[in-house]
Structure 1
Amino acid sequence: MSNAELWQGIGAFLEQAGGAPGLNEVRARLHDVGDLAVAIAQRPPNQPLCGYLSEALSVAHAGPGAALAALIGRSNLHWESYGAYAPGTIGTAFPRRHAYASLIADADPNWHRDVDLGFLLIAPHTLYRDHHHPARELYLPLTGPSYWRFGVDSKWQEKAAGAVIWNEPNRVHATLVQDVPLLCLYAWTENVLAPAVVDVASDWTSLESQLASR
């Protein structure tokens, strides 16, 4: 399958999401790199080390992202783990229980256009600890439910597949994945080289202990 088909499928998924905050900004930024992205060969394809991609795609096939899930299943993506956190701050579980596949990195390895787009996968029973970053960020889950909070120790909010999650610069946020693996489209529209910073919350130990026992 060509990069162009996947790019078009992403565009259709974004259009389907409507006019929620951030979507027009993401569409405009992606228009800047679209022709470049579909012209460049991808890095060597692999499977996410965290597993659960097939399970996530199976869930996504029954939701609003079914068409995009089908394209992801036919794509040769390069999955890796985000490694910019200071050692130990993000916890021992998260680095081996998530993976992401950047599409822009393939097209623009030096990040000249200061935008990123791809897919994030988080295994079940995983906490993505509270953190923030200077980049504006969009998440569009293809699976659900997943749980999000916006501020250290704030209340968790349930998000279904197809929900739009938009983080302004330096907004603190965390993600809690229960029984269903999380697969989502993500986009950063600026400051993609600026690393994320972890914000310490009081409930990490209890949450991660509960998740590890399941």
Structure 2
Amino acid sequence: MVLMAPARCCVPGERLCSLEDCAPGYGTYCKHGYVFSALSGYVVKKSDNGMMPVISVVRDTDSHLLPDVGATVTCKVMSINPRFAKVQIMYIGATVLKNTFRGTIRKEDIRATEKDKVEVYKSFRPGDVVVAKVISLGDAQSNYLLTTAENELGVVVAHSEAGATMVPISWCEMQCPKTHIKEPRKVARVQPEFLNVTT
């Protein structure tokens, strides 16, 4: 008899569980005794006849949604420069997208206050997972314009140079739990669905 746990969403690099609790399956990888997600998708845990459960990440092939103005999206930072951050949109709300979309977060759309003092490299780094809101539609040639100028928007998952998942310590800093080095970020107010990632 195969038992399946209810699926939840995850993003690449998210820590899913300890190797003591589950065996790694499709769409995952192991590091430092933990199983991490290698994909954006749904976490599926299967248990067969009392054997150790296998945890996998699967994509929803029926997700053909398009980002719309006002939609909250989850994206991954691909590159930054002094004027903007380039991102890949992976989720609309809690729905995993079959195909990612390109997005841009401009310097002036990072924060709601003191926009003239914002520096992109102190807000995002490549590899960061960011929750943002769509403010303008793109097309095949151009990017969606996104904003993080709300308390609930910003970086939710970031990794330090030591490879650890950093912990938010204020709205503008995250800290590596291994080295205790602090790094600047535009931190999102931590939402319940991300608590297991940042702890």
Instruction: Using structure 1 for the length normalisation, give the TM-score.
Output: 0.26
Judging by fraction of residues, say which structure has more helix: 1
Identify the structure with bigger relative contact order (alpha carbons < 8 Å, sequence gap 6+): 1
Larger radius of gyration: 2
Instruction: Using structure 2 for the length normalisation, give the TM-score.
Output: 0.27
Judging by fraction of residues, say which structure has more strand: 2
